Structure 1
């Protein structure tokens, strides 16, 4: 029942987020997040690192230091059992905040808030992630 509630809540949030403009930008930002999550699942640190924005690469200048940070502090993002996009907000013409609802490797629910910025090459890159345990979505 808990998984069904989680999936229904995620689907509702996704439908609600598509109701406003900038759908192409939102899709591009979500593709960056999805690409990084899939790279994590393949143990492809180089590909995962490629979705990080320059500000993140300045803090973590190598793939190894980046992956150490991810594996050490972002287990649910690194190894999700499942994830779905939730609420999204365009903060400006070049900045998007995207909620991602995650079932972690421990089976618990988490909420990740991603910030992304449009880069000069026209791609969205991840500028930060805030992770917290989610309040139960089941009734």
Structure 2
């Protein structure tokens, strides 16, 4: 009986830990999107991994890339978090973003965990789709 209780307690801890991880990742992405909506590229840049920061060097360069390459992220009308999954050892958070024209875009955010918390290590645009289809 004791083993069953320990097993249940241990698995409950894993579920809680996983839910906390999911919430932290979603909060990180949501906070970056909020910073973009406020044109606060300095804050948005802090959610990017060191690798991404090294590529773009400045918040201004990063902001220009987002405005030009990911306008749906810069000015979304709706953000919905889909599944978080592991692919080849990396965590990927799928996000549906609806732009100002009502078009749905599915993006995949690669996340890495550093001592300072979760950071966005890249974003892939998977394409436009109707998630209800």
TM-score (norm 2): 0.81
State the match for 2:103 in structure 1.
108
The aligned counterpart of 2:40 is: 44
What is the aligned-residue RMSD (CA, Å)? Answer: 2.1
Change (3 A) 1:42 1:23: same
5+ long unaligned stretches in structure 2: 1-14
Q: Is residue 63 of structure 1 aligned with residue 68 of structure 2?
A: no
Structure 1 equivalent of residue 124 of structure 2: 130
Residue 82 (structure 1) aligned with residue 78 (structure 2): yes
Secondary structure of the 1:22 match is helix
Structure 1 runs, 4 residues or longer, greater than 4 Å off: none
Match of residue 6 from structure 2: none
Contact 1:100 1:114 in 2 (8 A): yes
Higher relative contact order (Cα pairs below 8 Å, separated by 6+ residues) = 1
Separation of aligned partners in 2, 1:43 and 1:84: 21
TM superposition score normalised by structure 1: 0.77
Query: Against the structure 1 CA distance between its residues 132 and 91, is the aligned structure 2 distance closer, same or farther, given a 3 Å change threshold?
Result: closer
Match of 1:97 in 2: 92
| Structure 1 unpaired stretches of 5+ | 1-18
Structure 1 residue 22, shift from structure 2 partner: 1.2
In terms of Rg, which structure is larger?
Answer: 2
- 1:75 touches 1:105 (CA, 8 Å); kept in 2? no
> In structure 2, what is the equivalent of residue 7 of structure 1?
none
Number of corresponding residues: 119
Conserved? CA contact 1:80–1:105, under 8 Å: yes
